[in-house]
Structure 1
Amino acid sequence: MREPSNRRSPALVLAASALGLTFAAPMTAWANEAAERLTERLDPLENYHATFEQQILDGGGERLQSARGEMWLSRPGMLRWEVEAPYSQTVVSDGEDVYLYDPDLEQVTVQAMDDRVTHTPALLLSGSADELTASYDVFYEQQDGDDVFTLIPTLADTLFEELSMVFEGQILTELWMMDSTGQRTAITFSDITRNGSIDRGLFDFQIPEGTDVIREEL
């Protein structure tokens, strides 16, 4: 993984996020051309499965937290994000609701899919390319042979100020995010399968017996 340059994390953002940092090189394509390039990458994406490593850093580059886990994504709107270490946590979206399950607390938080939730980076990937490019200014550059797309939100109340997606060819390999506090998150994907076979049951979350349920209203 690249060393983070300069760049949050309540549970939903940590588990369902997919991070960030800014890239120092100048943007090299106009926003409309960059959006077209990104749409060409995302439109053929039906599903995605990978393991991940995540780092969260403060504004000075000091590591605050690290985690690893596994993710499954199926478009439109379905995601399973499992943090395995250093603690267990699961986020599942079935296209209508998002479930955040913390087994240590024996607690699950349920929130309906709305614009704010779907703008978390990992869930953002499960939406349509047209919706994505309508909500963000998109910039493109090449860096070390990879294609880097940087998204700047055009709407208020988003969970990040800048998001970058790194592609090796057609494969998404990294996500970088910076929030309004300067905190940065970097996620690197490995063991990637794109448009393979995924069990749809992974996106059907069954609340474990005895678990406290918190439903967040819009």
Structure 2
Amino acid sequence: MRDTQTLLSSPLSLAAAALGLTFATPAAWANDAAERLTERLEPLESYQATFEQQILDGSGQRLQSARGEMWLSRPGMLRWEVEAPYTQVVVSDGNDVYLYDPDLEQVTVQPMDDRVTHTPALLLSGSINDLTASYDVVYEQESGEDVFTLIPNSADTLFEELSMAFDNDTLTELWMMDSTGQKTLIRFSDITQNGSIDRGLFNFEIPEGTDVIREEL
């Protein structure tokens, strides 16, 4: 498990020198790393967890923290509810993505284009073949956890690096860095993989009186 101090000392690189970590095995070649990641993600049909999220600026100062719950089901379905310190809901039904802010009484609707699906949570709900084709994958093992770092092949993504940590076959953490140097760490708990999820969670009904902003391709 990485702590916040580790994140502050590194731009989310998994280089041992930068993080000061001792790895049980050396980094694998890219094709082997992609195969290992596929082995972890391909059986994942659904995922439910609570989460804690921290956002840090380029100097390591904490900008924001939040907690909530998420549900994910392949292909392309996601519900992400931020419960504190504010309320926000993101829902994908596989065709459109709804971002609902109840305080503003506003919902933004976006089609599921490539850029939207490259956001971290939706990326997990997509095609594994697309994932490993769109990113270079590096694998390392730290204290029994399998850590995969994804580096985009193109510039049209929302992050420079995205790393996933697995305890055995269970996804426990995501952390990423964007082009501004901003870092985000998401830790999952109370995890259920491949459990039964009510499909109604992925249908979003726009509340009456809510302003709707539709973003087209």
C-alpha separation in 1, matches of 2:197 and 2:12: 30
Quote the residue 2:75 is aligned against.
76
Q: Which amino acid aligns with 1:152?
A: I
Partner of 2:98: 99
Aligned to 2:14: 23
Q: CA–CA distance in 1 between the matches of 2:185 and 2:111?
A: 26
Residues 8-34 of structure 1 deviation map (CA, whole Å, 9 limit, x = unaligned) = xxxxxxxxxxxx932232761011000
Residue 217 of structure 1: CA displacement?
1.3
Runs (4+) of structure 1 moved beyond 6 Å? none
Match in the other structure for 1:161:
160
Matches within 5 A, 1:117-132: 117-132=116-131
Are positions 1:3 and 2:10 aligned together? no
Q: Aligned letter for 1:199?
A: D
How far is 1:42 from its partner? 0.6
Task: Please list every run of 5 or more consecutive structure 2 residues that lacks an aligned counterpart in the other structure.
Answer: 18-25
The answer to whether the 8 A contact 1:57-1:184 is kept is yes
2:145 match: 146
What is the letter of the counterpart of residue 191 of structure 1?
A: D
Query: Residues 83 and 90 of structure 1 are in contact (CA less than 8 Å); yes or no, is this contact kept in structure 2?
Result: yes
Under a length normalisation based on structure 1, what TM-score does the superposition of the two structures give?
Answer: 0.92
Distance 2:16 2:201 in 1: 39
Q: Deviations over 1:170-202 (max 9, x none)?
A: 000000000011110000000000000100000
Partner of 1:198: 197
Distance in 2, Cα, partners of 1:24 & 1:135: 21
C-alpha deviation, 1:6, in angstroms: 4.5
Q: Which amino acid aligns with 2:15?
A: A
| Partner secondary structure for residue 38 of structure 1 | helix
Q: CA deviation at 1:2?
A: 1.9
Query: What secondary structure does 1:33 align onto?
Result: helix
* Residue matched to 1:170: 169
- For 2:56 and 2:42, the matched residues in 1 are separated by 31
AA at the equivalent of 1:3: D
Query: Counterparts of 1:210 and 1:44 in 2: how far apart (Å)?
Result: 41
Greater relative CO (CA pairs within 8 A, separation 6+): 1
The CA distance in 1 between the partners of 2:16 and 2:72, in whole Å, is: 30
Q: CA deviation at 1:59?
A: 1.3
1:185 maps onto 2:184 in alignment:
yes
Q: TM-score, normalization: structure 2? A: 0.92
Q: Which runs of 5+ in 1 are unaligned?
A: 8-19
Q: Distance in 2 between matches of 1:126 and 1:28?
A: 26
- Cα separation, 2, equivalents of 1:53 and 1:143: 21
Provide Cα deviations, 1:50-79, integer angstroms capped at 9, x if missing partner.
Answer: 000000001111111000000000001000
Identity of paired residues, percent? 80
C-alpha distance in structure 1 between counterparts of 2:121 and 2:101, whole Å: 18
Larger of the two Rg values belongs to structure: 2
Aligned partners of 2:13 and 2:50: how far apart in 1?
23
Q: Which residue of 2 aligns with 1:52?
A: 51
Q: Identify the residue that residue 12 of structure 1 maps to in structure 2.
A: none
